[in-house]
Structure 1
Amino acid sequence: MNFIQTGFLIGSATVAIPLIIHLLNRWQVRRVELGTMRFLNEVIRDGAQRRRIRRWLLLLTRMALVALLACLFARPFLPGRSQRDGDHLQIVLIDRSASMGMPGNSGRVIDDALTAAADGVAEYGEGATVLWAWFDGQVEPLPASTTRPTVPRALDGDTNYQAAVEWARDRIGAFPESLAEVMIVTDLQQSGLAMAPSASESLGFSDNVPVRIVDVGRAAANNLAITQFAPLQTRLDTKTASRFGATLFNFGNLPQEEVPMVVSASNGTRQVRLKKSISVPSGQAEDVQFDLGNLDAGLWQVTASIDVADDLAADNRRLTAVQVAQPLNLLVIDGGAAEDGSNSASYYLAAALGRQSSPPSSIEGDAARESAPPSRFAVEVLFLEDQSMSSLDGHQYPLVVVSDAGALSAQLIADLESYVSGGGRLLVFAGDAVDTATLDAWNQSKLVPGTLRLPQPSGVTPFRIKTLATRTEMLSPFADPQHGDLTRLAFRKLLPVSVADQTKVLARFDGDRPAMTRQPVGQGSVVWFLSSADSSWSNWTTNPLYLPLVQQMAGDLLNLTGEGPIRFRRIGEPLDFERPSRLVVTQAALNPASPPIAEPVFEHAGFEQQPHALYVINGSSRESDPTRMEASALANHFGLNLADATNRPQSQSVATRKPNELWPWLAAAACVLLIGEFALANRTVS
């Protein structure tokens, strides 16, 4: 016997309550000898034995009643098995990858696939449960009410057979009592196994489930594809010619002669086009370059396309993007004068921000200077002793750097607060000029990471950076000590701060003291480095890590770190931003018997502009290869049991577990005991 709610068995301990009450009642009896009662002793002695028996029966009845109630709430049952006719479950997976867009017998290959799937479903009649789903790089289940899906117009995804097989396995697990069969309708493209390196044993697909693989592919295909297309330079400016490289591969059996290829670039206001004719032998690749000349500053969307009548049109176009930019104007505020020269607080900052990393050591002389990437920043230094600062414009100066936080007046701090609130970016370094009056002005603004206090000296042992938030794009290059060990930097002073809730600490000195912080202010952002930018508080300006760290801080504030403003994605990869028009429901929120809703992914090739970046979406070059395989190769790869006339489910019996609950009997027994308890209680005298 088993129990459904075993926790209620704890209540059986209450059987001790009737026993305790019984014993207490016995102890409360007081024996008094009365002379007038001696004539009744014989009568009382005759009934004492019967009363003692009734009292013990009453006690046992009450204890049994309490135990029975606890057992009743625990819901005991006897496990059993019963036989019934099994329900038929058919899972239909139709390939909708890009190769299914090739010409077929009745339109496209996917049209043939839908016809073949409908014919297979019709064999079961109306009594079967049919689960429809499309698959390419992921599986998209269709509503349970679907009787015949509508063929999608755009086919851009990559084939991933492992995703389809795993989804079918999970659906079968949700219907353990059904007689299941899986039907996969596909063109048997061999490249679909490239996404499935797992061994068949790890999939856990049942050997008892027959799998029908319906081949609707073409015996031969002729395809010329653009497999790669990208700019030849990682960073462009208006003085550098924009060159792009493309790779074409001929997957067909015939050579392609004089194929027109066009590369077009657009920044929204201007368009540049260049056309060439390309010949590609059969089974070979051909590389070609396009020089679009000098482009205007801005973000350019670039498309390469070939005009050829082959079987697969999805790979005749490929996209990329490039940012052509002049150096960004940065304003560095220095509290001193220009005549201070190398002694000024801004000297090292201006030098670091105005330079790029050195070119490879194998390139020397003029060649090194020509190959070096253009500078990202144009640095302008404002010396407050020489001139006053006019109004700050976020378009003119997207980033302002304060070389010494103590050199700013209260009015200038207020101006910076307005600048940042409107969308500007601010990088602040502490310095020797910090005093009580300046700290009060900073603490009254929204620009501080918390509450600033007077500078704190290190003593004999210098402060060192101990921990980094390496998941941030700003400091992720320093996660590997071999690429840059920031713990080697030594600082003699720091600016203590009690960090506010909205502030994120990016780096910490030893003793858990904040070293670098970042917090949002209005539409802008502020980064504090809580030591000096020059050599007044440390010797880190002579360390090779000074330049890359300062460049990373400035670049991250301007969205130039990590992937930057251009991000490349493949069809089928998950979205890394929220798309409000799409509702995402997780598997846990659904009925286990209902197909899960697919997670949002990039579905089609193209450009997608988001507030923080431009996304360039392309398909995988694997889908361009039309090489096919046998159905047995697909089945053997995943350990599938191919369906035939002998193993297809027809009419079988299914053994199911059926719990036989005992609560009705226990309830009846409780009623009988309750009646017995009333009867005994009325006839029992203490």
Structure 2
Amino acid sequence: MNFLYPGFLFALLSVAIPVIIHLFNFRRFKKVYFSNVRLLKEVEQQNSSKEKLKNLLILLSRILAIIFLVLAFAQPYIPLSEQKNKFVNNAISIYVDNSYSMEAINKDGNLLDEAKRRAKELIKGFGINDRFQLLTNNFEGKHQRLVNVDEFLKALEDVKISPANRNLQQILNRQGNVLTGSANKYSFIISDFQKNIATGKKLETKSDIQYAFLKLNATTLPNVAVDSVWVLSPNHQPGANEKLVVQLKNYSDEEAKNIPLKLSINNQQKGLGSITIPAGKTRKDTLNFSGLKAGWQKGIITIKDFPVTFDDTLSFSFKVDKNLSVLSINGANAGNYIKALFAADNYYNLAENSESNINYSGFANFGLIVLNGLKNPSSGLAQQLKNYLNAGGAVVIFPDLDADIQAYNAFLNGLSLPSIQSLTKTETKVDQIDLQNPIFKTVFEEIPKNLDLPTVNRYFSFVENNSSNKENILALPGKKLFFAKYGVGNGTAYLSATGLNTVDGNLARHPVFVPLMYRLALNAGNETALYYHLGNDNALASKKINLGKNQTLKLTAKNFEAIPEIRQADGKTLIYVADQIKNAGFYNLYLADSLLAIYAFNNSRAESDMHYLSIAELDNLAGKSNLKIFDTDKDAVKLTAGANKIGQTLWKLCLILSLIFIAAEILLIRFFNNPKKTI
């Protein structure tokens, strides 16, 4: 048995008080002689031996009452382990949940304020020489050490609501990194235990750490959140019609009716709507807008939903390009079909390289690369295209059917594309077109019954061992490849079975060729993320940025400026912001005075579901003898008594026994061996 407050044991010296009173309260029986007993009006008959027993029992009751009262203040307990603590000092890690859900209100007020109060109560159960760690969702470096009580309390006052969120296993692992060395180790988790905090797996804990979960109870609130947004085309042209899909989610158990929805771009209202969402469901709405100018656009989707408001807005950004750059690498007999096609529209900026003079360094600047009738594509070209595709680019391959098949196969294998089996010289007509593919989905207003499709005089037949990443756009009879899409790295490769020369067929002169190539170009390019989430997304993607000597990038916003770390990978530049960005909004990326990109950051939607784990669910997650779970509404006394870091507390029993012995003293004085009165 151990004591939480052994200093109170000095009060056991007070046992001497009833002993001294007993020793100095001598009562001796003397014989008194009377000449006439009739002169005595009243005689008390006493038994001296019984009186002594009574006094001893009263003394014992007083002593035991004082002893158990002192023990109640010293708070004895039985440790969880049968053995006593091995070490004199204690190391305590206290996690205070400061996620958005802790803004909720219960009968005691704000949950975060209650969590702070509970943390202060916990440290009162430890000694002045013990050391403490304060942990929050921010996982800040300054919280990765043990401090004294005063430093802990000062850091606790500075804890504020944060957009970051962590799961239980991450929190326990972080605490385990600090709770090392020779000390008695205690881990406390103070949280509302929103369901997103669980990973669905059993928790992994350390056997030398005593764990306790302190569950704060909040009222479940209805909530509707802007879950996500996306555009239907990765390419944006000045003045073009755009379609934005908005997805809302209703996290409550009741239907959300007529939720108002607003779209603003560059502080101008571009769309309005309202939507009704059944309980626990998601619903999508499509907003149309147009009239954008070239440059970066800052959009905001807003709904009105109370009382939870942190997820009622979602910011996003995208760039409207003044033109789209296309590179055509031409063979000797390629023809002018690609040039004639893209030169007809000022939006497309066409550059041409000959097969013998290719500028590899400029690949990253193009949204689409067309290989038009290459006779002998090299392995070096394949490697450069592979890097371009890994960065998210798009490549279209129209082969030269007179080329060496073996040499072409080496090139195709370098791009993880099917190998050529043979050259087929039988005239064939394309018999399948995928009208649901994004390339053709909105091209035809009305589909004729007998759709005219291209004919081919000769074509390559391919060996396709793996078609899992293949999409047939146009196919020959027997579902043979004619024009298909393949995912390569982060990009897309389009492979044609025939070339564009008239001797190969009529594809280049067929009406389907124009929408095919234009839509390929519009769906090509590096599609960047519309937005990122605070606390989760620390790497921002960008087109390759070439920095000169002593040049650095700068990320800025209102009252914010940082120099991010950058890395070059697969033809892209990755920008690492670590945990520097803490507020939702728009952040501008500059190289000197040149604006390179605008990034939008939003609060994570992980906190939007205002449902909580029950004690039973937490018990199921824990499943450990060294992990205790407490409901702060029901177990508030245990929390202040320190029951969350020990096994069984005995102070209640001591207090009850003290009261029993006080009552016994009263009963002994009043009823034990009362003297009989005689006249």
TM-score under structure 2 length normalisation: 0.48
TM-score under structure 1 length normalisation: 0.48
